[in-house]
Amino acid sequence: MQSFTEENYLKMIYSLANRRQGEVSTNALAEMTSTKAASVTDMLRKLADKQLIHYKKYQGVRLTEEGERLALQVIRRHRLWEVFLVQKLGFGWDEVHDIAEELEHIRSEDLVARLDTYLGCPQFDPHGDPIPTPAGQMPEMGYRKLSEVAMGEDVCLMAVLEHSTEFLKHLDHSNLTLGCSITVNEINTFDKSVLVQIGTGRTVFISHEVAKNLLVDSRQSVVASH
């Protein structure tokens, strides 16, 4: 059985590998965990000994098939608990990440199955992230970043990449919520910030840093899928 720390590492390796489309460096994990590279290396050796990762010093890390299966189990539990906290207990989407970080380590398969059924078998968490299936399948969503959208294009906000409390509160302040329509009215050539119209209402400036953390889909695709 894996420790909580080992589960967290598997989840982080999965997340970083998906973002970077390849192997994960020790330095990237050290930055993500705010720990020294030597401590990360010690943990990677433990995971390699358990055959949960492929690891060679200075060559990066990738999950084994079993490591990926376990990582997806942790992610599934985390995202189901986030749904529960928002839908059933009234937490805001900016409040649930840290709580779900603790709850995700409850390994009871029966509890997870009942939680899933109780929630109506949700496909997405409150941040728009897909929830892995019980069989460990993760849907490919094919979204784009708002920073990649052309001027004049009309899109729908589907998910966010950044889950920090500060970031999500910033989105709330700008009335940027999942499902809202966004029209790109202007792109600043200097700093790549964008002026957008939200629905039929207000217009706001969004920095490039924020825009690259917002995942969108064309409105036509969203309508067609429903």
Under the banding of pLDDT at 50, 70 and 90, the label for residue 23 is confident
3-state secondary structure the chain: CCCHHHHHHHHHHHHHHHHHCCCECHHHHHHHHCCCHHHHHHHHHHHHHCCCEEECCCCCEEECHHHHHHHHHHHHHHHHHHHHHHHCCCCCCCCCHHHHHHHCCCCCHHHHHHHHHHCCCCCECCCCCECCCCCCCCCCCCCEEHHHCCCCCEEEEEEECCCCHHHHHHHHHCCCCCCCEEEEEEECCCCCCEEEEECCCCEEEECHHHHCCEEEEEHHHHHHHC
Residue-level pLDDT at 139 = 86
Q: How many whole angstroms separate alpha carbon 189 and alpha carbon 194?
A: 9
Q: How many whole angstroms separate alpha carbon 85 and alpha carbon 101?
A: 12
Specify the pairing of strand 181-187 against strand 194-198: antiparallel
- The yes-or-no verdict on residue 58 having pLDDT over 80 is no
Residue-level pLDDT at 222 = 57
Residue-level pLDDT at 223 = 47
Under the banding of pLDDT at 50, 70 and 90, the label for residue 96 is very high
C-alpha distance from residue 88 to each of 3, 73, 80, 105, 187 (Å): 29, 22, 11, 20, 39
Mean pLDDT value across residues 76-83: 98
Q: In the block, which residue shows the tokens 């970031």?
A: 167
What is the set of domains in the chain, with CATH numbers?
4-63 (1.10.10.10), 144-225 (2.30.30.90)
Residues 112-169 have pLDDT tens digits of: 999 999 999 999 999 999 999 999 999 888 899 999 999 999 999 999 999 999 999 9
Residue-level pLDDT at 225 = 52
- The yes-or-no verdict on residue 18 having pLDDT over 90 is no
- The yes-or-no verdict on residue 179 having pLDDT over 60 is yes
Residue-level pLDDT at 52 = 97
Give the rounded percent of residues in the chain with a pLDDT score beyond 90.
81
* Torsion angles phi and psi, residue 110, rounded to 5: -65, -45
- The yes-or-no verdict on residue 197 having pLDDT over 80 is yes
Mean pLDDT value across residues 189-206: 93
Question: For residues 149 and 155, is the Cβ–Cβ distance under 8 A?
Answer: yes
Residue-level pLDDT at 201 = 80
Residue-level pLDDT at 145 = 96
Q: What is the pTM of this model?
A: 0.90
Residue-level pLDDT at 226 = 46
Residues 28-54 have pLDDT tens digits of: 999 988 889 889 999 999 999 999 999
